[in-house]
Amino acid sequence: MRKSVLLVASFSTMAMLLTGCQSNLSGDSYSRDEARRVQTVRMGTIESLRPVKIEGTKTPIGGLAGAAVGGVGGSAIGGGKGSIVAAVIGAVAGGLIGSATEEGLTRTQGVEITVREDDGSMRAYVQQVQENEVFRVGERVRIMSVNGTSRVAH
């Protein structure tokens, strides 16, 4: 009973750590470095839209959290040398599962917005889909750029 409670607590901790790593890639989200910086603003018209998936983060946190949980869970199995072997196997398996879980939990739906800018150039921008925000082909939009990061807004 004690071992199963320990295992459940470990998995709950891992889930909290992984969801805390999620970043926002929407058009209305700015990093601290981008705040209060002068932005270049261009205007354009949407030529096409395409749904895309934005892959999740792949930091060491997912693997390390998974390895810790797997090691603790594995060490709870058996006793003596069997416990050590189970801890190592649990740590390796947990690390792999933790990495995959982090990427899956932080994956998000995005949109590729192809814009014909007023200067005649055509560029595509990818950003996270925001709830209640709908872009339409033919719509006039603003493109804001700062430090190599651009976003499209109504």
**92-149 residue pLDDT tens:** 888 888 887 887 787 888 999 999 999 999 999 999 988 888 999 999 999 999 988 9
Quick one: 115 and 145 in the same domain?
A: yes
Task: Give the total number of structural domains in the chain.
Answer: 2
Torsion of CA 125, 128, 129, 133, to 10 degrees: -70
pLDDT tens, 120-129? 999 999 999 8
* Residue 26, pLDDT score: 66
Structure tokens at 137: 């082909």
Quick one: 18 and 63 in the same domain?
A: yes
Quick one: 20 and 64 in the same domain?
A: yes
Quick one: 142 and 154 in the same domain?
A: yes
Q: Is 146 helix (H, G, I), strand (E, B) or coil?
A: strand
| List of E strands, the chain | 40-54, 108-117, 122-128, 140-146, 149-153
Q: Is 134 helix (H, G, I), strand (E, B) or coil?
A: coil
Angstrom distance (rounded) from CA 76 to CA 128 = 41
Whole-model pTM: value is: 0.62
Query: What is the DSSP-derived secondary structure letter of residue 30?
Result: -
Domain of 48, CATH number, reads: 2.40.50.100
